[in-house]
């Protein structure tokens, strides 16, 4: 027993030296650069190395699948089927042109062939639903060594299995403990958010920084994840707007409001549009206060589209600073499916991803025109964000994530068809 004491002392000394070295590396390469906003290029080198490993793993998977006659990818895709935009009247006329022997201007009010349009639309909706697919995670056709991003990969070779197991050890035993750091200060927002960016191994490319939001304005952006706030706040100062939450999110909100006058609403206050507009207007009129950061979609969308912007933030007459955010899903899925995962589970998934890679575009400031209402202004800002970020511009309400389609949406299609019939009747009466 006494012979083992020197060996035990050696082990303790080695552990102490290892912890000292680890803390020194953490201080030199993460905390200090985060404070001063500088980068040594280590994360970019890390990203390039991962890309090479992913490419090799994918080629090995494809070769192994071909040898074993195994279907590597699913027969369907989560992508978007491109369609040429046509109106209801044009499509029905096209159907009548192909199936009716009568002239279009002499056709009756209703033909049996008209139902083919609605049948086809119903089938297209089932086969390529462009609403519900925005609330499920993207599935990659390549493997990034995260088993949760593609569930169709199976065992191919021992080398790939060992590589995947090594990745699990790195993500859970090294990256996860390294990313669980406390905020150094609750009162220095920029430093804290930069530390969070380093903690998530976020590699962010900012474009057109001269258009960054300024005091007295409103910054609006598309919404994919709660970390959108961290992505933007690590490059500027913002006052947050949102609903008071409980749990971990509530703890974070209470800590944030101690250092900055953020605008939090109770659940009952959110429904009072006049109260919300009043508080936002009071904030933006004070030029000494930080610009407000708002995500008008009201819910997280899966990084492929921009859905309807709520008009409330576009009614108060302030200058709007649009921002487009686009994530690279190869390194980790940033989308938060709030109906499936809680905040703690989501943060765990983020901290065990390889990295968070995204691009941020600051668009030129926009103001509401004299002949433009709030809805038109919101749609114009939304279109600019979608165009810059390479996202699909959809008119659907993100509230469909939790609610059924409103009757007004159904009535719109009925009105379009009725207008077409009335128009045909007027044309025949004139002739």
The model's pLDDT over 97-137, given as tens digits with 9 standing for 90+, comes to 555 544 445 555 566 666 666 777 676 666 666 666 676 66
List the structure tokens of 333: 């899925």
- Beta-carbon neighbour count of residue 300 at 10 Å? 24
Q: Kindly report the average pLDDT of the chain as a whole number.
A: 75
Q: Note the pLDDT tens digit of each residue in 24-53.
A: 766 666 666 766 667 778 778 888 888 888
Q: 339-344: long-range contacts at Cβ-Cβ below 8 A with a sequence spacing of 24 or more?
A: 339/135, 339/401, 339/402, 342/247, 343/226, 343/247, 343/248, 343/249, 344/248
Task: Single out the residue of 200, 230, 255 nearest to residue 30, CA to CA.
Answer: 200
- What is Dmax (Cα atoms) for the chain? 114
d(CA 304, CA 134): 7
- Beta-carbon neighbour count of residue 390 at 10 Å? 11
Query: Bridge partners of 203?
Result: 357
Please report which confidence band the pLDDT of residue 211 belongs to, taking 50, 70 and 90 as the band edges.
Answer: very high
Position 53 scores a pLDDT of: 84
Tell me the Cα Rg of the chain.
Answer: 27
Q: Which residue has the tokens 């953490």?
A: 26
d(CA 22, CA 388): 41
CA distance readout (Å), 288 to 192, 239, 284, 364: 22, 12, 9, 21
Position 185 scores a pLDDT of: 43
Question: Using H for helix, E for strand and C for coil, what is the string for the chain?
Answer: CHHHHHHHHHHHHHHHHHHHHHHHHHHHHHHHHHHHCCCCCHHHHHHHHHHHHHHHHHHHHHHHHHHCCCCCCCCCCCCCCCCCCCCHHHHHHHHHHHHCCCCHHHCCCCCCCHHHHHHHHHHHHHHCCCCHHHHCCCCCCCCCCCCCCCCCCCCCCHHHHHHHHHHHHHHHHHHHHHHCCCCCCCCCHHHHHHHHHHHCCEEEEEECHHHCCCCCCEEEECCCCCCHHHHHHCCCCCEEEEECCCHHHHHHHHHHHCCCCCEEECHHHHCCHHHHHHHHHHHHHCCCCCCEEECCCCCCCCCCEECCCCCHHHCCCCCEEEEEEEEECCCCCCCCCCCCCCHHHHHHHHHCCCCEEEEEEECCCECCCCCCCHHHHHHHHHHHHHHHHCCEECCCCHHHHCCCCCHHHHHHHHHHHHHHHHHHHHHHHHC
Residues 333, 336, 341: CA angle, nearest 5 degrees: 110
Position 242 scores a pLDDT of: 73
The percentage of the chain sitting over the pLDDT mark of 90, rounded to a whole number, equals 15
Residues 223, 227, 229: CA angle, nearest 5 degrees: 75
φ and ψ at residue 147, rounded to 5 degrees: -65, -20
Task: Single out the residue of 238, 234, 231 nearest to residue 359, CA to CA.
Answer: 231
State how beta strands 320-328 and 292-294 pair. unpaired
Position 44 scores a pLDDT of: 84
d(CA 151, CA 157): 17
Position 66 scores a pLDDT of: 73
Position 81 scores a pLDDT of: 40
Residues 238-254 have a mean pLDDT of 76
Residues 66, 71, 77: CA angle, nearest 5 degrees: 130
pLDDT higher for 374 or 157? 374
pLDDT surpassing 70 at residue 360: yes
Residues 183-204 have a mean pLDDT of 73
CA distance readout (Å), 341 to 135, 168, 337: 12, 21, 6
d(CA 397, CA 182): 37
Please report which confidence band the pLDDT of residue 2 belongs to, taking 50, 70 and 90 as the band edges.
Answer: very low
Q: Note the pLDDT tens digit of each residue in 336-348.
A: 888 788 888 888 8
d(CA 173, CA 175): 6
């Amino acid at each position: 027993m006494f012979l083992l004491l020197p060996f035990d002392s050696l082990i303790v000394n080695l552990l102490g030296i290892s912890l000292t070295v680890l803390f020194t590396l953490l201080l030199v390469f993460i905390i200090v650069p985060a404070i001063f906003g500088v980068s040594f290029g280590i994360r970019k080198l890390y990203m390039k190395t991962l890309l090479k490993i992913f490419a090799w793993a994918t080629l090995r998977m494809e070769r192994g699948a071909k040898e074993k006659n195994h279907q590597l990818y699913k027969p369907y895709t989560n992508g978007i089927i491109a369609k040429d935009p046509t109106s209801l009247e044009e499509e029905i006329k096209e159907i009548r042109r192909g199936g009716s022997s009568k002239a279009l201007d002499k056709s009756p009010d209703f033909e049996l062939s008209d139902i083919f349009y609605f049948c086809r639309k119903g089938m297209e909706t089932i086969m390529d639903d462009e609403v519900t697919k925005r609330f499920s995670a993207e599935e990659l056709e390549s493997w990034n060594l995260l088993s949760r991003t593609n569930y169709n990969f199976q065992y191919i070779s021992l080398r790939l299995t060992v590589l995947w197991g090594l990745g699990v050890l790195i993500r859970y035993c090294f990256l996860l403990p390294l990313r669980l750091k406390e905020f150094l200060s609750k009162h220095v927002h920029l430093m804290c958010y930069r530390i969070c960016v380093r903690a998530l191994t976020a590699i962010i490319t900012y474009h057109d920084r001269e258009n960054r939001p300024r005091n007295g304005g409103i910054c609006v952006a598309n919404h994919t994840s709660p970390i959108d706030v961290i992505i933007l706040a690590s490059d500027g100062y913002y006052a947050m707007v949102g609903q008071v939450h409980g749990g971990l999110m509530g703890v974070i909100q209470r800590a944030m409001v101690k250092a900055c006058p953020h605008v939090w609403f109770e659940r009952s206050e959110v429904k009072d549009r006049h109260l919300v507009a009043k508080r936002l207007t009071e904030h933006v009129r004070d030029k000494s206060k930080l610009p407000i950061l708002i995500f008008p979609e009201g819910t997280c969308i899966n990084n492929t589209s921009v859905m309807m912007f709520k008009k409330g933030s576009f009614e108060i007459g302030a200058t709007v600073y649009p921002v487009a955010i686009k994530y690279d899903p190869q390194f980790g899925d940033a989308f938060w499916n709030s109906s499936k995962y809680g905040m703690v589970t989501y943060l765990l998934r983020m901290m065990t991803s390889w990295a968070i890679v995204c691009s941020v575009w600051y668009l030129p400031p926009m103001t509401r025109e004299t002949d433009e209402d709030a809805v038109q202004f919101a749609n114009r800002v939304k279109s600019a964000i979608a165009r810059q970020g390479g996202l699909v511009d959809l008119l659907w309400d993100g509230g469909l994530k939790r609610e059924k389609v409103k009757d007004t949406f159904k009535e719109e299609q009925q009105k379009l068809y009725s207008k077409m019939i009335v128009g045909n009747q007027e044309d025949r009466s004139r002739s």
